Chain A
């Protein structure tokens, strides 16, 4: 409940302020979103497994977003930015799918 509320607060804040993202950061935004989603789904699954840990959640969120951004930045510098972003999205996508499957097994026993 608390988590959903916090998420909603973030959404409302974003809707109110509608911040404009600096041009330099724009390529990292979609990757950051996918990384954040991965951390959130991991947290939900851990919660359902009964092993949720605040510190682990916060650290995984921050490091996910930072590492994903760093990889894309490096890729841009090396001239393989698009390919590396695809790689990051694939890896995080696989993890999100796995975690969602875990959540589904917990919730529906199937």
Chain B
């Protein structure tokens, strides 16, 4: 029997006597009542065995979870990250190659047109308007950034939904406003917008022309000198100032004297074709309204 000092308070008791008091009590009861019948003892032994099996099981499972499980998670994650980086690098290289080839093609075409005595400037002007050519000029850069995620002041963990995250809708609003304010060429994070560009969301990533872009988003626009002023005075400008002050979204509008925008990828048009009467450069091929099997001579 262990002597039990009078219980003063919980903590002292816990430090002085860590054995469950129940054991002593059970022993006292047993001493009064005499030994348990064998059947009761057998069930007790079985239960004890089961608990010990459960303990061993628990130990191994916990071991697997903490020691064996964690590295696998980080390994898979690291593998995925390098995979994504590799692919991004690949696409960048292909993009550069495409840009180079596009330059080459336009150079060759200009040379061929000059040799044939046709006006090469007409195509340049068309490229300027459709966004398939590189352009430069004065303009404005609108910079949008996600707000810092809200943090629980006690635990330091992120809490709730971050309302200051830039959505595809925000980028659409900004570009629409810039077009309205007289912008002539716009690119978002280096992705030039053309007549068939899309700005949309997949999961939590914004895609411009199916290429993923991430915060901070730079909407670069070439347009009139006072483009930034016009943007700031518009309702959209007010809206984004409100988003910045209320939800912490990072918004900056800067005037730039000289901007260079890359060319948009050549739109691959399969169904649209020129109406003969409105484009005298194209030779009339069949009467209007009759389906043409393929678009001859491109667009």
Residue numbers of A with Cβ under 8 A of B are 2-3, 6-15, 18-19, 21, 26, 29-30, 32-33, 36-37, 39-40, 42-43, 45-46, 49-62, 79-82, 91, 94-99, 102
CB contacts (< 8 Å) of B267 on chain A: these are none
* A21 to B57 CA separation, bound complex (whole angstroms): 12
| A57–B59 CB distance below 8 A | no
A-B contact count (CB 8 A): 145
Chain A, interface SS category: helix
Q: List 22 A-B contacts (CB under 8 A).
A: A3-B48, A7-B53, A7-B55, A10-B53, A10-B58, A10-B59, A13-B57, A14-B61, A14-B64, A29-B58, A29-B61, A33-B62, A36-B58, A40-B52, A46-B23, A51-B1, A53-B30, A53-B44, A54-B45, A59-B22, A61-B51, A102-B19
Instruction: Decide yes or no whether B258 CB sits under 8 A from chain A.
Output: no
Q: Which residue from chain B places its CB closest to the CB of A34 in the assembled complex? A: B62
| A51–B48 CB distance below 8 A | no
| Residues in B59-75 with C-beta less than 8 Å from chain A | 59-62, 64-66
| Residues in B5-49 with C-beta less than 8 Å from chain A | 14-15, 17-20, 22-24, 26-27, 30, 41, 43-45, 47-49
Selected contact of B62 from candidates A29, A45, A50, A95, CB within 8 Å: A29
**Given A3-B48, A46-B23, does the pair A61, B18 have CB atoms closer than 8 Å?**
no
Instruction: Give the shortest distance, in Å, between A6 (CB) and chain B (any CB).
Output: 4
Residue numbers of B with Cβ under 8 A of A are 1-2, 14-15, 17-20, 22-24, 26-27, 30, 41, 43-45, 47-62, 64-66, 152, 154-155
| B48–A54 CB distance below 8 A | yes
Instruction: Give the shortest distance, in Å, between B175 (CB) and chain A (any CB).
Output: 40
Besides A13-B53, A33-B62, A40-B55, 18 new A-B residue pairs in contact (Cβ under 8 A), listed by A number: A7-B56, A10-B53, A10-B57, A10-B59, A11-B60, A14-B58, A18-B64, A29-B58, A37-B55, A42-B18, A46-B23, A51-B26, A53-B44, A54-B45, A56-B26, A99-B18, A99-B19, A102-B19
| B15–A98 CB distance below 8 A | yes
**Given A53-B30, A79-B155, A95-B18, does the pair A6, B49 have CB atoms closer than 8 Å?**
yes
Q: Which residue from chain B places its CB closest to the CB of A11 in the assembled complex? A: B56
* A56 to B219 CA separation, bound complex (whole angstroms): 70
| A45–B26 CB distance below 8 A | no
Instruction: Give the shortest distance, in Å, between B13 (CB) and chain A (any CB).
Output: 11
**Given A6-B52, A14-B57, does the pair A54, B44 have CB atoms closer than 8 Å?**
yes
